[in-house]
A and B are shown apart, each in its own frame.
Chain A
Amino acid sequence: MSNEQKPIDFAGFMRLLTSGADPRIERTERAGSCGSGCECDPEIERSGGLGNKKMSRRASLAAMFGGAVATAGVVRAAANPLEAEAAKERKALEWEEYFKGNFRLMTPAERQQTISRLERLAEMKTGRDVHIAGTQARPNVLYGYAFNISTCRGYRDCVKACVLENNQDRRSNMQYIRIFEMENGRMNLEDGKADYFHDVPAEGHFYLGTQCFQCENPPCVTVCPVGATWKEPDGITVIDYDWCIGCRYCEAACPYWARRFNWAEPVVPAEQVNPRQHYLGNRPRKKGVMEKCTFCIQRTREGQQPACAEACPTGARIFGNLLDPNSEIRWVLANKKVFRLKEDLGTDPKFWYFMD
């Protein structure tokens, strides 16, 4: 499927024109096309100049102002010396966090540093020991998903599992997955209902689930003004929550309504926080940034199934590696009649629907 013909698009043309100047794009294309089976380390490929210069400039900025703010923190938290010490540490960590770079362009050392800082901050905030992974894409892996619309019965166990797994905001009841209850005989999402509250399956209906389709050609990535969202070599479109400026252009650009915005500070009760996290996945988000389904990057990069696929009681969800000829997803694509939503837009989603 990698040699499928793609429509000629202006944005792609412009990308070609500038690929030499853009370390980000260069890397994706190489990672996608080399096929040598090695795990490409972006830092080694992005050798040298530009990135490092950026870092040092930013680091010196942080150093210039850092002292002043750290002192201010101490002055504010006066009374208890222990508390003061903690407040000072927290301020210092937050300050360094503010000046850190885009995760994609960080060196491995910088990545490790920010992960340590975030783990420490989470521990101070919730009193829980969390682990934030920075696991990179595995070689020869391209994730794909297939959804069986004849076996889904609309239970929405997947929705619940997704919320718990991915630390989504409980206050706004944020959900990445939507299950549409569709009338038999019609294939029009506008007539479907995603907010049904009755016993399922309802007579004369079938169920169709949507989430982020991890497009091979994602419009959300193209429009982001700061490069806070990108497609990883294993095909997952991720967001650096700390780099996102919250302009919501990606939310307008997504044809599948897969992106969500944190309109307020998200709330997850400390005891419900899933401590097994990934920097680009389910680590807690903050107010004013975008988030989305990452095919449970914290699970799938460790060789597990996404939470939604694992939770599905009817086996309607098939997830796997598109590059593995023996995978179940490849069997579905080879033996079932499949379709995708809005194929005419040229987004090339890696999420197929099929029926028995």
Chain B
Amino acid sequence: MFSFFKDGIVVATTGGRAYHLWMGALSLVMIVGGYAYSVQFREGLVVTGMTDHVSWGLYISNFTFLVGLAAAAVMIVLPAYVLQDVDFSRAVLVGEGVAVSALVMCLAFVTADMGGPTRLWHMMPGIGYFNFPQSMLTWDVLVLNGYLALNLLIPMYVLYQHYHGRQPRRNLYVPFVFLSVFWAFGIHLVTAFLYAGLTARPYWNTSLLGPRFLASAFAAGPSFIIVSLVMIRRFTEYKIKDETLHKLGLIVTVAAQINLVMLASELFKEFYWPTHHSLSARYLFFGLHGHNALTGWIWTAIGLNVAMTAILTIHPLRRKVKVLVPAATVLFFAIWIEKGMGLVVPGFIPSPLGEIVEYAPTAIELLVSAGILALGLFVFTVLAKVAVAIETGQIGKGPTGEH
């Protein structure tokens, strides 16, 4: 056990010039973000762009998007462990690494958004008061932490066994894999319900929100994994077959198509006969009484979404890795805009009493967010590097009997 962790740390701290540059840059961004957070901690959330009118902003937007990224690991876990699809089995550890680092970012973003982070222990059952099951936020705390535990324990067990040259015992870990599959749907549905349960905000109060969260997550998440796999293939000896990328590409495409169908039905409902409840959508897509801070963003996102989905839908194009990777990257960012700021901020505009106050993040918010994203990438790089080292037999005895 000790040598497993020791070797892991050694692998994580050694590497080529490019590796050290990358990790150094991430560390720098984290330090700057940490400083920005210290300012926010001292002065209060007044240093952000949030107000009593728009009371959640960039932090919660990122949180919402990243929960989806974490949930998307299921799209690899399910075929790899449950259907025993050989093409996915080499990618699954990367998927779980994405989930873990996304969850780390989620928890960091939520903490950064708290007015009283030092009082978070009030939520701990036993010494505090956990308002379960009434508050959807308590559900979210449970599912996110549970999912984090599952995605740490399953790959750690598999890697530990491989490290010792043993075959992991299926009956030991597969039950947890099944659990994590349901759990993945759970984390994203619960996060959607967090919004959908608020009748005060008609923009969120729609039964389509949960399904739409899942569809966009299953497009954005595997997109990220595709890019990660290509990176790993380039920088390490770990073999990832094109077939794996193709299958992931197909998942991305189908999910992106479903997402567009839902977008269309949402637009139809909001604009065929606009009511008071459509004001937020009108603000987002067309602006309201001259306020239109988000219209440029959302149309960019939708344009890119449609274009990338069209490109990916054409089989010969998607099957070219040179097309798949940039298309997946662009799609990832388009969904980030659409589901982050494009979902959270319009919910607050206009206010329940009809007042319009717009929102733009401040430099402090941007720096803190950059710091948290760097933290996520840092965690992901370490996890992926150690996993690859074990799987390729660079440390430990290497996996036996597989591949």
- A82 on the interface (CB 8 Å rule)? no
Q: Which listed residue (A105, A210, A263) contacts B50, Cβ 8 A?
A: A263
What CA separation (Å) do A222 and B137 show in the bound complex?
10
Which residues of chain A come closer than 8 Å to B45, judged between CB atoms? 246, 261, 263-264, 288
**A154-162, A189-197, A311-319: which lies at the interface:** A189-197
Residues of chain B in range 303-339 having any CB-CB distance to chain A below 8 Å? none
Which residues of chain B come closer than 8 Å to A190, judged between CB atoms? 276, 279, 350, 354
Q: Which listed residue (A188, A245, A259, A264) contacts B43, Cβ 8 A?
A: A264
Chain B residue at minimal CB-CB distance from A174: B52
Which residues of chain B come closer than 8 Å to A251, judged between CB atoms? 52, 55
- B198 on the interface (CB 8 Å rule)? yes
The total of Cβ contacts below 8 Å across the A-B interface reads 152
What CA separation (Å) do A249 and B123 show in the bound complex?
14
The 5 closest A-B pairs by CB, nearest first: A246-B115, A288-B115, A190-B354, A255-B200, A264-B46
Q: Is the CB of B353 within 8 A of A189?
A: yes
12 sample A-B contacts, Cβ–Cβ < 8 Å, listed by A number = A11-B197, A178-B353, A226-B122, A244-B116, A246-B116, A247-B114, A248-B113, A248-B115, A255-B200, A256-B352, A263-B52, A290-B115
What CA separation (Å) do A58 and B125 show in the bound complex?
12
| Residues of A that sit less than 8 Å from B by CB | 11, 14-15, 18, 24, 54, 57-58, 61, 98, 102, 105, 172, 178, 180, 188-192, 194, 210, 219, 222-228, 243-249, 251-257, 259-265, 287-290, 342, 345-346
Q: Which listed residue (B50, B128, B134, B279) contacts A11, Cβ 8 A?
A: B134
Interface string of B14-34 (1 = CB under 8 A from A): 000000000000000000000
Residue picked from B110, B117, B200, most chain A C-beta under 10 Å: B200
Q: Is the CB of A254 within 8 A of B115?
A: no
| Residues of B that sit less than 8 Å from A by CB | 43-46, 48, 50-53, 55-56, 110, 113-120, 122-123, 126-131, 133-138, 141, 194, 197-201, 276, 279, 347-348, 350-355
What CA separation (Å) do A342 and B51 show in the bound complex?
24
Q: Is the CB of B114 within 8 A of A245?
A: yes
Which residues of chain B come closer than 8 Å to A249, judged between CB atoms? 135, 137, 194
Which residues of chain B come closer than 8 Å to A246, judged between CB atoms? 45, 114-116, 119
Given contacts A194-B353, A254-B200, A265-B44, contact A223 B137 (CB under 8 A): yes
Q: Is the CB of B276 within 8 A of A252?
A: no
Which residues of chain A come closer than 8 Å to B53, judged between CB atoms? 257
Q: Is the CB of A247 within 8 A of B113?
A: yes
Given contacts A15-B134, A263-B46, A264-B46, contact A225 B123 (CB under 8 A): yes
Q: Is the CB of A252 within 8 A of B347?
A: yes
Chain B residue at minimal CB-CB distance from A242: B119
What CA separation (Å) do A283 and B131 show in the bound complex?
25
Q: Is the CB of A219 within 8 A of B353?
A: no
Which residues of chain A come closer than 8 Å to B347, judged between CB atoms? 252
Which residues of chain A come closer than 8 Å to B198, judged between CB atoms? 219, 223, 252-253
Given contacts A225-B123, A252-B55, contact A18 B354 (CB under 8 A): no
Q: Which listed residue (B116, B117, B131) contacts A224, Cβ 8 A?
A: B131
Which residues of chain B come closer than 8 Å to A11, judged between CB atoms? 134, 197
